[in-house]
Amino acid sequence: MPPLPNPGTEPDGSAVIRVLSYNIRSMRDDTDALARVITACAPDLVLIQEAPIFFRWRKKLARLAAATDLVILTGGGTAAGPAVLCTLRATVERTEDVLLPLTPGHHRRGLATAVVRFAGARLGVISCHLSLHRGERHDQAGMLLDRLAGLGVEHAVAGGDINERPDGPAFTRLSSTLRDCRAAAPWGTEHTFPSAAPDRRIDGVFATKGVDVLGCGVPLGLPGVTENDLRAATDHLPVLAALRIPAAGKVY
């Protein structure tokens, strides 16, 4: 597997960052394995789905952040599960947790959103976990795009558990407006679920058109990421993307 670019700042002020999207199943599995996987990926942003949302959820999420040398940016119980962790490279401009309309009998869904800066690059960020129900999922994809457009940023990244394959209507709605990073620059392996025997891609990272995608996929084979840890950590495999974010006012 070719190496994934390391995070850093380019001479022109653009920033190379790593974004990890990961459904952690409320930290109900092997949290040591989970921390090892995240740490080995060396992410600048972790877009989490199914963060703990019930008893002492803040403490549990803080424990994961501390174990991976990250800090909590936003989300968790206040976003019905999605959350964002980040490194100290990120300068936080603002955050907002958004609860999506609740369909009676369905799970509450939400978005964890933020605007951050990496050196001269400014970036909107959204973590999402879309519905298990087809029609509701499609509507939520549209709400995500509306929220992203409302962040008031030129460049943005969104990631999460889409709960359907790339040819599904919600996934297609996202990829018709944003770049599906895996399709743009395949790296690593493709399938994300279930972690014990993955046979489908239902998780993804998406970026606005001006973001340069350097590689994206499941980080199986990345130094420090083992198959045993990936299976033990949770029921999904993570998606890791390396992105170059243009400096403010620049487009590639």
Summarize pLDDT for 68-82 with one digit per residue, the tens. Answer: 999 999 999 999 999
Would the pLDDT of 85 be above 70? Answer: yes
Instruction: Summarize pLDDT for 181-212 with one digit per residue, the tens.
Output: 999 999 999 999 999 999 999 999 999 999 99
pLDDT for res 3: 87
Q: Which residue has the higher pLDDT, 73 or 10?
A: 73
Would the pLDDT of 10 be above 60? Answer: yes
**Of all residues in the chain, what percent carry a pLDDT higher than 90?**
92
Mean pLDDT, the chain, rounded, equals 96
Among 60, 114, 110, residue whose Cα is nearest residue 84: 114
Q: Where are the domains of the chain?
A: 11-245
pTM of the model: 0.96
Q: What is the mean pLDDT of residues 131-159?
A: 97
pLDDT for res 13: 86
CB atoms within 10 A of CB 64: 22
The CATH code that applies to domain 11-245 is: 3.60.10.10
Question: Backbone dihedral region of 109: left (phi > 0), alpha (psi from -120 to 50 degrees) or beta?
Answer: beta
pLDDT for res 252: 43
pLDDT for res 123: 98
